[in-house]
Chain A
Amino acid sequence: MATETIARRPERVRVQAAPGRRPRRDAGRVLRLYVPLALYLIFTLVPFYWMIVFALRPTGSTAPVPWPITFEHFATVWNDIGYATFFVNSAIVGALTLLFTSVIALMGGYALARFRFRGRTLFMVALLCTQFIPGAMMLIPLFSIFRGLGLINSLWSLVIADTVFGLPLSIILMSGFVAAVPFQVEEAAMVDGCTRTRAFFAVVLPQLRPGLIAVGSFAFIHAWNNFLFALMFISRQDNFTIPVGLSYTIGEYSADFGALAAGGVVAAVPVVCVFAVIQRYLVHGISAGAVKG
């Protein structure tokens, strides 16, 4: 268990430019790599730029830059539209969905990866099949169930629905991560005296960090952006979430683009922050889970 492998990176050979000469840039490399990347970056960032411009410039201005800067649209969405409340609700729903999805997916994923039981393949297929059912189709059955449970108008209805809809994919992903951890290391821990649970926490769980981050971030973002459930299961003004608040800015006969953009900025900030923190785990996480699933 304690074996350590030291991977050596091949040493790079730096070619020094002759004294008095500037190093030549590889024009082909710039053309192949940087130009497409720059174009893609512009393509991706321009909508964000416009969102920020609309959010920060005064109503009626057509300037391509947000000058003079105004924060009136942010004040509108935060105070008048009720983002102060919606933001907290979204954060609660997002955090609890993340928590429940991660914990349940961890347990389900471990079971699928480590145990061979009758109906395992069928269960996996069933999990995959649930992905083909659109949320809108389940709306009325879920509504009736939640109504029976007294959960309509409660944030719990959103947490449960978002968790349930996110779980199949999360379990499949997580089983891939668990399968990637050799069972021998767990066995070695058990030989050293650990129970199976102790071995899981001590040996397997630390290696599942990228997987947990991938699954958790997907769950959070899905819950954060879910408009349909938030509108349908909630009929109380104080319990709505950010996506519903965002749709308030487009009325029947009027559209407040400044408020819409400011609302978009507020809604995007947590998602951008989540990605900024986890992006290095995420890429590895997704590929590891997907390939070995």
Chain B
Amino acid sequence: MRSITKVCTAAVAVLALSVTAAACGSDSGGAGQESGGKTTITFWDNNGGVRTPIYQELIKRFEAANPTIKVEYVGIPIASVQQKYDTAIAGGATPDVGGVTTSYLANLTGQQALEPADDWLAKSPVNGRLLDSMLASVKATTPDGKLYMAPATSNLDVVWYQKDKLSAAGVEAPKTWDEFFTAVGKLTKAPDQYGWTIRGGAGSIFQLLAEAYAYSGVPEFFDASGKSTVNDPKNVELVGKIAALYKKDTPEADVTNDFPKMVAQFTSGKVAMMHHNLGSYNDHVKAFGADKIDAFPMPVGATGKRTIVANPVDGFAVFKNSEHKEAAWKFVEFLLSKESNSYWNQQTGQIPANKDAQGDAWLNERPYLKNAVSVLADPQTAVVSPPYYLPQFSSITKADTEPLFQKVLLGQMKPQEFLDTMAQKLTEAQAEWKQAHS
């Protein structure tokens, strides 16, 4: 009884002390501060965790080269980055520099949170050194055609495969879709091994569209009249063929596969080939070793023309609320320099935006990456740009249609009906957007 009384008295005392401490020692938020002649800028990494050590190294180099600027790193988990930015914008506590991708750039510019980069780039040493295709991709995302994000890297959809599994089955990396479907059949030895895995859960639509356009060779997302090409007969044909692989040449669990589950299946060795992008390179190397895996670009369809769907471009943006824009741009400039951009992309296994970095030796030592760069640089490659600028694009390709693709896999919906539904939604969204920006 006495002990409880003592505990309660102590608790009340701690409570009182704590509240006092809170009032006195609260920590202020907000952007950069100046202390001791140093300017502090805040940098939010939009894919915190895996990339944290890479940025820590680059920040160390930057601070050594710029002793008057201190960079405060904050890693934001990728799954919540949009919500974090939205909350920060609404609360007026944005960082100075943030990692941003074209997939949600329109959302940020719609809230007028970002500073245009055009003037900075015109005067910057990296002007003319960034890939034109990436710059164009960023500019196409916003209605005013300004550059709100400096591109740093891009990606390409590829098919990862285990070399030994293909060798054992006497299969070579497929170049065409016909070869691909034959290879999948040969590689399947169910239930011990499957030739392919389908992303049936979260994020399924982007991958499916990348496969469909590569198969059909349709070069645009919308035709001249603004009608979506998603339900092109060849696209429908491909979706039907992919759905036919389900459970026969793929694990049954694929219907709920999101990206982590799909990669887990592949790295467990049970699946011989998997469609993803260059970004998962490190996971595969960790699981198999660099010499055991390789990747080939999306196979070529009946048209004979290689067609790829452009992946989101990743880069850096300076926020309008920043009180230290000069220091912020300096940091962005440093990150996009040949050395930094090369180092970053070497670590992540992606395509550098800096043209000079693309000539570095490490890139040529990785055949899959060299191949990817040459595919992107090939003038014969048709690049289909998804309409990231549509505010509804994310909801259409996720919440609205992912469950429908699952129905297709389960045989509850025809591919034609599925793609017609998506096409109608995209066409309507495009018409709305055109009307709003005409």
Contact = CB atoms under 8 A, between A and B. Distances in A.
A102 B279 contact: no
A255 interface: yes
Given A60-B288, A257-B264, A252 B279 contact: yes
Contact of A254 (B8, B77, B155, B282): B282
B283 A255 contact: yes
Interface residues of A, number: 45
A251 B47 contact: yes
A43 interface: no
A60 B53 CA distance: 22
Contacts of A247: 49, 77, 79-80
A143 B4 contact: no
Nearest to A59: B286
Interface string B43-82: 0100111111100000000000000000011111111100
B260 A248 contact: no
Contacts of B8: 103, 201, 205
Nearest to A102: B11
A147 B94 CA distance: 12
A147 B26 contact: no
B286 A255 contact: no
A251 B50 contact: yes
Contact of A60 (B49, B72, B92, B267): B267
B261 to A, nearest CB: 9
A255 B77 contact: no
B88 interface: yes
A80 to B, nearest CB: 7
A140 B91 contact: yes
A87 to B, nearest CB: 16
Contact of A235 (B14, B26, B74, B270): B74
Contacts of A91: none
Interface in A61-101: 62, 80-81, 96, 99-100
Contacts of A147: 29-30, 91-93
B282 to A, nearest CB: 6
Given A59-B286, A99-B15, A205-B5, A254 B280 contact: yes
A250 B1 contact: no
Interface residues of B, number: 61
A151 interface: yes
Nearest to B91: A143
A152 interface: yes
Dominant secondary structure at the B interface: helix
A151 B278 CA distance: 41
Q: Which of B12, B29, B76, B264 has the most CB of A within 10 A?
A: B29
Nearest to A151: B26
Interface in B1-46: 1, 4-5, 8, 11-12, 14-15, 18, 22, 26-30, 42, 44
B206 interface: no
Contact of A248 (B1, B75, B278): B75
B425 interface: no
Dominant secondary structure at the A interface: helix
A48 interface: no
A248 B78 CA distance: 8
B276 interface: yes
Contacts of B124: none
Contacts of A139: 87
A100 to B, nearest CB: 6
B136 interface: no
A20 interface: no
Interface string B389-406: 000000000000000000
Contacts of A256: 50, 283
A244 B77 contact: yes
B176 interface: no
B259 interface: yes
Contacts of B48: 248
Interface string B273-311: 000111110110011100000000000000000000000
A149 B49 CA distance: 30
B73 A237 contact: yes
Contacts of B4: 201, 205-206, 209
Interface in A20-67: 59-60, 62
B269 interface: yes
A202 to B, nearest CB: 6
A149 B280 contact: no
A165 interface: no
B44 A235 contact: yes
B83 interface: yes
Interface string A193-211: 0000000011001100100
Contacts of B83: 232
A248 B49 contact: yes
A239 B12 CA distance: 25
Contact of B76 (A62, A140, A231): A231
Contacts of B317: none
A139 B86 CA distance: 11
A228 to B, nearest CB: 8
Nearest to B25: A154
A144 interface: yes
A251 B279 CA distance: 10
A243 to B, nearest CB: 9
A156 interface: yes
A93 B78 CA distance: 24
Given A235-B44, A237-B73, A254-B50, A151 B27 contact: yes
Contacts of A154: 22, 26-27
Given A60-B286, A147-B93, A252 B263 contact: no
B407 interface: no
B268 interface: yes
B90 interface: yes
A253 interface: yes
- The list of the 4 closest CB pairs from A to B, nearest first, reads A253-B279, A248-B49, A152-B29, A247-B77
9 contacts: A59-B286, A62-B269, A62-B270, A205-B4, A237-B72, A248-B48, A253-B277, A253-B278, A254-B280
Given A151-B22, A201-B4, 11 more contacts: A59-B267, A59-B286, A100-B18, A144-B90, A147-B29, A152-B30, A153-B29, A231-B84, A236-B74, A248-B52, A248-B77
